[in-house]
Structure formats: C-alpha cells, structure tokens
A and B are shown apart, each in its own frame.
Chain A
C-alpha cells in the first residue's frame, strides 16, 4: 500500500490535468484528495494536513528564498526587450549579418533563440515572439513551411537551457545547486548543442538567398544593445560580485536604458511590460505553489520511498539509476509541464542520486551541477515531443493553425535528435558541464558563496 498510493497519485495528476482547469488548481485538488485518502488509510496523520497550509504560506514568504525575487526582474527585462522592439532588432540584425552565408537565416534564428533566455521562463514568450518574427522571414527566404516551423520551435527551446533562463533557477533550487554554478555549467552543453544545430543548418544549406532590404538604420544598434545585455548579465553573475537578484535588477535597468537610448520607452510599452511580467510571474508561481503542496503530500504518502525502492532495484550507485531517472523525467515530460517535474520529481530523484555521483566526481556541488545540466537538457527535449510539447503548440498556434502540429514536429525532429546527442555527450563526459564552474567558482562551501545578507 505504501508504494501504491504515490504511484496512483501521479497517475491521477496526469488524468486530472486533462480536464482543463488551471494546472495550479489541479495540483492542489489532487493533493487534497490523496491527503484525505492517506488519512483514511492511516498513512498520514491528520495533524500533518496542517502542514499543507504552512507550506502554501511558507513557499513564497520564506526569507531564505529571496532568490525568487530575481524571477520577476528577469521577466521584466525580457518583456522590456520585447515591447521596445529590441528583441526584433536583435533578430533582424543577426539575420542581416548571417543572411548571405550558407544556411544563414537558420543560423540567425538559432542564435536569437539562444539569446532570448530571460524571456523563456514560460517558453511561450520566446517561442511565440520568434514564431512571429522569424517564421515569415524564413518563408520569405524560401524555406519550406515545415522546415521553418520546426526550426523555430527548436530554436525557441534553446533559451530554456541558456542562462539566465528561469527554468535553471528552479532546477538549481530543486537539486541544491548554486544558481551561478548551474549557469556556468550550462555553457558547455549549450555550446555543443549550438554547434550541432548550426552545423546541421549549414550542411543542410538554405534555399536561394534573397536578402530582404527593409529599413536598416538602427537595427544593428538595437541588436548589439540587447545581445550585450545578456552577455553582461551572465558575466556579472559569474563574477560573484553581486547576488542574482542584484544582477537581474541591473539588467532590467539596463534594458530600460537601452530601450530609452533607442527612443522606444513609452508609457504604453512600460505598461505592457509590467502587465506581462505580472501575468507570467503569476503563471509560474501559481504552479510553483501548487506543485510544492502536491510534492509535500507525495512525500507524506511515501513517494520518496517509492522512488528510492525503484532506484535500489536498479542499483543506486550505478549509471543505471541515473539513466533510469533521465528516462523517467523524459516520460514525465510527455504529460507534465516542466515546472511540475522540477518541483515534484527532481528533489526526490536528486536525493537518491546525488551521493553516488558526488563520490564519483569528488565534490557534491559539481555533482549537483552535472545533474542539473543533465536534467535541464532532458527537460528541454520535452518541449519538442508530442503530445504535449509546448514549443510545438506555440508554433502551431502562432501560425493560426496554418502549419499542422504533426508538420511542426516533423520539422523539429532532427533538432530533437541533436538534443539527445548532446544529452548523451554530457552523460558520457561530465567535464562538459563541470569544468567551467570548477575553474571559476569556489565550490568547497556547501551552499554557495554567502553574499551580503
């Protein structure tokens, strides 16, 4: 019985989500239902139910979790870049730079996808924007619709694993890694994936290139400003001079200044950016609160034991347990959103895996970095896999249904394969993820450099 209820709980969640109520509400509803079942079967003491309320209350108000404050600021930065048209400038500028080379328009789309990280918290923001700007441009350049749509979907998912993507925060939090360390750990795998994507685009080549000549003035300035902002942000986070929230705030100020320098910061743009920030922030944190309630009940019912038992059957030290965890997350990705997976599954999986990995790599922080990078790439693939690949839906939706879901998926399939290649490479060579943070950060302290707090 102890192993049955947690499994049933996961299945019930999968089924209940399909009803179409907000995900946060579904998570809490399933949690309460199973908390009730747990009390009836005597697995959960009714006193423990009180912990659920404290959980909701404590999740966001906990003073140690100040790191969450960086999330709205990063979202705001992304929203400002979007509303002031700087993001569009970036795409246009990069397209013009690469436009004449072989596979150029595809290369440009990919490059911009990777630079849109902060807007990718809810992948909708970046992929939606990319579909809006890049898809028509690609088609004008003669790319087949299916090919173009798949490319946009794949490029849109790049921002998810590129620092300072919002997903990386929550992954770091879930497995106990330092956020700056995980940011740095992602650079190696990201570079490899980009190389693969770009190589594929160049080899595949582009149709007859007819460079579009629209108004060119200022596009490059805008492109440089927004690209410089992202690079600077990751740089100052890695330098360790400022905390994450401070870096995010400075970047947000930078985005507003950059927009103002181009004369595009209007009240309307500010209002739209602020509303967008509030709405996307609400989406993320509402699911986050729901998922943390769900995972609390999951643990009370013995979910941790269920996973440990499963891992023990595979041998918790061996590579097979890690492999099984990755496959498990991949399968979860078919029917859960990334945030639920990160908040519910990752802490449980990481707890059973990390000791063995730390023994192998000789450092718990490096182990967390490696694991975090693996899970991040693993989750990235879930955006491109049907039936619930968000990137696929978004591109399908952004074209007003003109491009069928299956077509988008077929177009994106080569990129999905390349993601899996990257995943295997990082699995085989942990240094891809661990080398950079080990060089730049002092990882001997257990929970990261203590900032001024």
Chain B
C-alpha cells in the first residue's frame, strides 16, 4: 500500500514538474515575443494569446496534483498541529474520500465530455483554421485526474497511519 501511494505521488509529481518545465518557459517566450511581433507590425494577436492560455492551463491544472503530493497546499494547522496523528489521519481520510475524490471524479467526467464534444465538433483554435480547441479543454480533466492520484495516495497513507498502533 505504501508502494502504491508512493507510485501515485510519483505520477502526479513527475508530470507536474515536466509540464512546469515546458509550460513556464513557453509562456514566458510567447508573451515576451508578442510586443516584439507587434513592433515589427505582424498581426498575430489571437493565436498568441490562445497559446499562452494553453500553457497557463496546462501548468496550473497539472500543478494542483503536484502540490497536493508535496503537501504544499495551504492548511490552517494552528489547531490540528496539536491533534494526535491518528486524528489528523482520520480528518485527511474523510476530506479526501468525502470531498476531494468525488469532486475530482465529477470534474474529470465532465471535462472529458466537454473535450470530446469539442473534438467531435472540430472546434477551432482562436482565429486559426486548426480544429485543436479540444486540447485546451482537455487539460482540466487531466489536471484533476492527477489531483485524484495525489488525493488517493494521501488517503492510502491516512489509512496506514490509522492502522498503525
């Protein structure tokens, strides 16, 4: 069980880091080149900004799971710091199984649906002729799937912590 939790966290973390490595430089280059392109008189607004939306969504969505796996999300632990480890584990288990995992499941299902529809209808990407809009939409379910992995790992760890005497 520890190994499964470790693997799940590894998936969220490595995808999150990989996308960050691609997404952040891409976003910066796209946005930094835009004023230069404008200065040279190129008309390129819409695809440019659509591409940075793409990179931003990819980065943000995949970072949720990464941050969860690393325990980086903000928690108010003024009181819970003083709870027994088992009580905290029980709270974490309830939080993940009752809220986080069902929420992720719904968004993943809805999101894939929306991306799939977009793909079938050939939704265009910004002002271009390319029917690639589905790829932008797909980041939402992908991101929440990774968050689900991290949440699942966290609930497994909570179960282990509660079973420990």
Q: Do A and B come from one complex?
A: yes
- Residues on A lying within 8 angstroms of B by beta carbon are 17-26, 28-29, 32, 53, 56-57, 60-61, 63, 66, 68-69, 72-73, 76, 122, 241-243, 245-246, 248-250, 252-253, 271, 274-275, 277-279, 281-283, 285-287, 337, 387-388, 452-453
Contact B24 A277 (CB under 8 A): yes
For A21, the chain B residues whose CB sits under 8 A away are 75, 91-92, 95, 99
> For chain B residues 91-112, which have a beta carbon within 8 Å of chain A?
91-92, 95, 98-100, 103, 106-107, 110-111
B84 at interface, CB cutoff 8 A:
no
**B92 (CB) vs chain A CBs: closest residue:** A21
Contact B59 A28 (CB under 8 A): no
B121 at interface, CB cutoff 8 A:
no
Contact A282 B28 (CB under 8 A): no
For B106, the chain A residues whose CB sits under 8 A away are 53
Instruction: Pick the 8 closest A-B CB pairs, nearest first.
Output: A20-B80, A249-B31, A282-B67, A282-B63, A22-B73, A278-B20, A249-B32, A21-B95
Contact partner of B49 (CB less than 8 A), chosen from A17, A242, A387, A453, is A453
**B50 (CB) vs chain A CBs: closest residue:** A63
Assuming the contacts A21-B75, A282-B66, asked whether A252 and B107 have C-beta atoms less than 8 A apart, the reply is no
Assuming the contacts A278-B16, A282-B73, A387-B78, asked whether A69 and B99 have C-beta atoms less than 8 A apart, the reply is no
Residue-by-residue, is B53-90 near A (CB-CB < 8 Å gives 1, otherwise 0)? 10111011101101110101111111111010000100
- Residues on B lying within 8 angstroms of A by beta carbon are 16-17, 20-21, 24, 27-32, 34-35, 38, 45-46, 49-50, 52-53, 55-57, 59-61, 63-64, 66-68, 70, 72-81, 83, 88, 91-92, 95, 98-100, 103, 106-107, 110-111, 114, 136-137, 140
**A50 (CB) vs chain B CBs: closest residue:** B110
**B141 (CB) vs chain A CBs: closest residue:** A57
The CA of A453 and the CA of B80, in the complex, are separated in Å by: 47
For B140, the chain A residues whose CB sits under 8 A away are 57, 60-61
Give me 19 other A-B pairs in contact (C-beta within 8 A), A63-B50, A73-B24 excluded: A18-B79, A21-B92, A23-B76, A28-B103, A29-B99, A53-B106, A53-B107, A60-B56, A73-B27, A250-B35, A253-B32, A274-B21, A278-B20, A278-B59, A278-B63, A278-B67, A285-B64, A286-B73, A337-B74
**12 cross-chain CB contacts under 8 A:** A18-B78, A24-B73, A26-B95, A57-B107, A66-B52, A76-B28, A246-B31, A249-B27, A249-B30, A250-B32, A278-B16, A282-B72
**A24 (CB) vs chain B CBs: closest residue:** B73
The CA of A283 and the CA of B60, in the complex, are separated in Å by: 10
Contact B78 A274 (CB under 8 A): no
Assuming the contacts A20-B91, A61-B140, asked whether A287 and B74 have C-beta atoms less than 8 A apart, the reply is yes
